[in-house]
A and B are shown apart, each in its own frame.
Chain A
Amino acid sequence: MINMVIDGRQVQAQTGWTVLETARQNGIHIPTLCHHEAVEPSGACRLCVVEIGDETWSKIVISCMYPVAEGLNVKTDSPRVKNVRRWILEMLLAQCPASPEIRALAAEYGVQTTRFVNHDPNEQCILCGLCVRVCKEVVGVSAISTIGRGVHKKIGSPYGVVSDACVACGSCVTVCPTGAMSARLDAIRGVHAGREAGKGGK
């Protein structure tokens, strides 16, 4: 057993656990978007950040991947942590205004409006990559992937080619934290009309 402190509370963790697992085991809430028990953590959404250390030295780490250690002192709601979460949520609010989940989470952190312009009022996808990971790690077919880099990144079928690797299992739709995946599935499999005409339906 490993003894550590989260938000001033003495808690115990098992060797190999992450800070997030330990917090949840002890009923301490840390928000996440790209985390799912079924797949390996990837550290993409950064919402689960926590501050470790003390008054003299501290740093921000992501709780979903940071391993527990004896004597670790974790703050899940410090000003630095809140600053990261608020800005992420304010940016997500502008990025995918159509997602009720994002709006609710933002409201939880007092973010009701965003200073940033929105380019697509129907967007829901936050590019957390959960759909890609579940398709690879759980289903084992890798029918979806992230395409492109940086601001041009999107979710689609590998190389943007309509994929018949998809077995329509719906795992990606299930794990998607914002409901964005249901609208994308046809684009990956090709819409019916497109498939029948043999053209694909990008």
Chain B
Amino acid sequence: MAQITNREIQQAGRLDSAEAFMALRERILAASDPNRTEIIVCHGTGCLANGSVKVAEALQAAVKAADLDIKVTGCHGFCSRGPLVVVRPSGLFYQRVKPADAEDILQSVLEGGQPVERLLYHDPNTDQALPQEKDIPFYSHQMRIVLRNIGKIDPTDIGDTIAHGGYLALAKALYQMSPEQVVAEVERSGLRGRGGAGFPTGRKWKSALAAIKKKGYPAYVVVNGDEGDPGAFMDRTIMEGDPHAVLEGLILGAYALGAHQGFMYVRAEYPVAIKHLNIAMEQARALGLLGQNILGSGFDFDVQINRGAGAFVCGESTALFTSIEGRAGEPKPKYVRSVEEGLWGRPTVLNNVETWANVPQIIEKGGEWYAGLGVPHSTGTKVFSLVGKVNNVGLVEVPMGTPLASIVEDLGGGVPGGAPFKAVQTGGPSGGCLPYDMREVPVDFDSLTRAGSMMGSGGMIVMDKRDCVVDVARYFLRFLEEESCGKCIPCRLGLTRMREILDGFSQGIGSEKDIDDLVSLAAAIQDGALCALGGSAPNPVLTTLQYFKDEYLAHIKDKRCPAGVCKDLISYSIDPDKCTGCMTCARQCPQKAIAGEKKKPHVINQELCIRCGICMESCKFGAVNVA
């Protein structure tokens, strides 16, 4: 934490030049001791849910006498090991910390202290303790550009952000670069939109410049923070953990495009993100980094937050604009691009949170530097949320082009139990399902599209042999059916009808003609739907059909669900050779469907069984089978 307090920084008032900004930065750096010990407690969603607030309080209470700081930061990413505590500058990493561990942690960081063995990360394969964050594979395989400061800075402290390089790019751009040079630098970087479609950001900005020139209006700049894919939390983490990076990116974009008003559209389900962004805006205004005459350059720009109202479709650009304009969030056909006619018919540049957050470093270090990361047509890094049947659930940032297998296995630690993964759903509900055979596919925009999937916003859901592809396709369809705005017929009616056909499959009802119908209807929806929600909704069905057709056929021809998921097609049984007669399953069964005496094999009454699978989960001897 910067040793100059927030209040002192705010008292500096509005800075009126780049020199004044640099002088403030020098003061902050001079006042802070880089060797001072900080105990950092992750306050990302996963850690919060596991009680990290109490951990931070306990540490705060324990620390009283000692001369060190407790700092609360955004998400460190390693969610499955939370609550996380990291000691800096040493890099000592503690996982699954409880409030009761506070005293031991404190002792360990004091002079001559030893690491608390029980809280260290142990490699699951070798059981070797890895006390340093940088040695843990989950972190060592990452390249953190967008996430560089998350987990290091206090997101509510602008001084801490400035000490870690925040607003350096803005000071540079305002005084050393023309707006055209900023656009050119972004274009040189090869940055492509991180929200899903992957449109080149520099090219978008350039077309906006042309439209502004033609029409004579200034543009609006907008942040799309309406992240809604199931299992995705990249943008949330950035907004919560480093809100100034998003804000600085937006101000840079506004400067490049001559915009004076910006909007941040953030979904209402992200209250912490909204709070942190509001704090960031307030602090930036107080320092003259936002508002009128930014850093004395004569450039005026301000921004407001618009909260979403719970509609997934409002992440779609035209629906988002309609929502900001105060009408029901429904998309419009976009035969005129939003860089020409966007918000209120004005030229508008809408970029995703992660895209904006990349901009400051591109300006600071140069487009050339950024273009050197990743692969030629997908430069830079991408943040992914790695969830599902994977050991290390969490948030990772890797260079574009990293093979799928490397993300799932090296960073993710593979599937629990060590079996190979079955498939990975990339790109959220509009993406596709890639099988194990495709594990070497480089994760970049074009390779994923060629494989039938898409980058999307960066959700990555890992599945193992206990996941049924029919069930997965149904799940995503049901999600989009519920989120369809209902304006156009192909999406409103088509998704329900596709789902009904899949419902039939999951009950063993259907024929190969139904599969053909499904594909034909999917094509009609892809071609006919108004917006990308409907247009991409059939993707999970089509990719699972492409790669797992046998599994579909098993459902409708053999009336069998190979993964043991679809309830109408499965039955549970107890292997009498393995059953020890411990009674655990019989006690847990909500239907009292399991009969048997102590120390004698149990039997499941199929009439009563509702196939919930609790017996299988509760059996310690692997005696319950599903088929």
Give residues in A with beta carbon < 8 Å to B.
42-47, 49, 60-62, 65-67, 80, 83-84, 86-88, 91-92, 95, 115-117, 126-127, 129, 146, 148-153
Contacts and interface: CB of A to CB of B under 8 A. Distances in A.
Contacts of A44: 487-489, 530
Contacts of A92: 489, 493
Nearest to A18: B335
Contacts of B489: 44-47, 88, 91-92, 126-127
A6 B335 CA distance: 19
A153 B521 contact: no
A58 to B, nearest CB: 10
22 contacts: A43-B332, A43-B530, A46-B489, A46-B529, A49-B527, A49-B528, A60-B528, A61-B335, A80-B527, A84-B528, A86-B524, A87-B528, A88-B490, A91-B494, A95-B493, A117-B500, A127-B486, A149-B486, A150-B485, A151-B482, A151-B496, A153-B486
Given A43-B332, A116-B497, A149 B527 contact: no
Contacts of B487: 42, 44, 129
A150 B484 contact: yes
A102 to B, nearest CB: 11
Contacts of B521: 87
Contacts of A86: 524
B483 A150 contact: yes
9 smallest CB-CB distances across A and B, nearest first, come from A153-B486, A87-B524, A150-B484, A84-B528, A60-B527, A150-B486, A91-B493, A43-B333, A46-B528
Nearest to B534: A46
Contacts of A91: 489, 493-494, 497
Interface string B327-365: 010001101100000000000000000000000000000
Q: Name which of A45, A46, A66, A116 has the most chain B CB atoms within 10 A of its CB.
A: A46
Contacts of B328: 146
Contact of B523 (A45, A83, A149): A83
Interface string B196-210: 000000000000000
B140 interface: no
Contacts of B492: 127, 150-151, 153
Contacts of B493: 88, 91-92, 95
A47 B524 CA distance: 11
Given A43-B332, A153-B492, A88 B524 contact: yes
A151 B141 CA distance: 44
A62 B489 CA distance: 13
A153 B328 CA distance: 12
B409 interface: no
Nearest to B517: A115
Interface string B480-515: 011111111110111011001000000000000000
B530 A150 contact: no
Interface in B178-211: none
Contacts of A46: 488-490, 528-530
Interface of B: 311, 328, 332-333, 335-336, 481-490, 492-494, 496-497, 500, 517, 520-521, 523-525, 527-530
A127 B520 CA distance: 24
A62 B528 CA distance: 8
Nearest to B336: A67
Nearest to A88: B489
Given A46-B529, A115-B517, A127-B492, A83 B486 contact: no
Contacts of A127: 486, 489, 492
B528 A88 contact: yes
A92 B524 CA distance: 14
A150 B528 CA distance: 16
B481 A151 contact: yes
Nearest to A46: B528
Q: Name which of A88, A92, A146 has the most chain B CB atoms within 10 A of its CB.
A: A88
Contact of B333 (A62, A84, A150): A62
Contact of A84 (B517, B527, B530): B527
A127 B487 CA distance: 8
A80 B490 CA distance: 14
Contacts of A95: 493
A12 to B, nearest CB: 20
Q: Name which of B481, B484, B487, B517 has the most chain A CB atoms within 10 A of its CB.
A: B487
A46 B535 CA distance: 13
A138 B520 CA distance: 39
Contacts of B486: 127, 146, 148-153
Nearest to B310: A149
Contacts of A88: 489-490, 493, 524, 528
Contacts of A62: 333
A49 B525 CA distance: 12
Contacts of B527: 49, 60, 80, 83-84
Contacts of A115: 517
A46 B520 CA distance: 16
A134 to B, nearest CB: 17
B490 A65 contact: no
Contacts of B482: 150-151
Q: Name which of B328, B332, B489, B528 has the most chain A CB atoms within 10 A of its CB.
A: B489
A191 to B, nearest CB: 27
A83 B520 contact: yes
Contact of A149 (B332, B484, B494, B524): B484
Q: Name which of B333, B335, B500, B525 has the most chain A CB atoms within 10 A of its CB.
A: B333
A102 B482 CA distance: 26
A42 to B, nearest CB: 7
Given A49-B528, A84-B527, A88-B528, A67 B490 contact: no
A172 B482 CA distance: 28
A84 B529 CA distance: 9
Given A44-B530, A67-B335, A87 B494 contact: yes
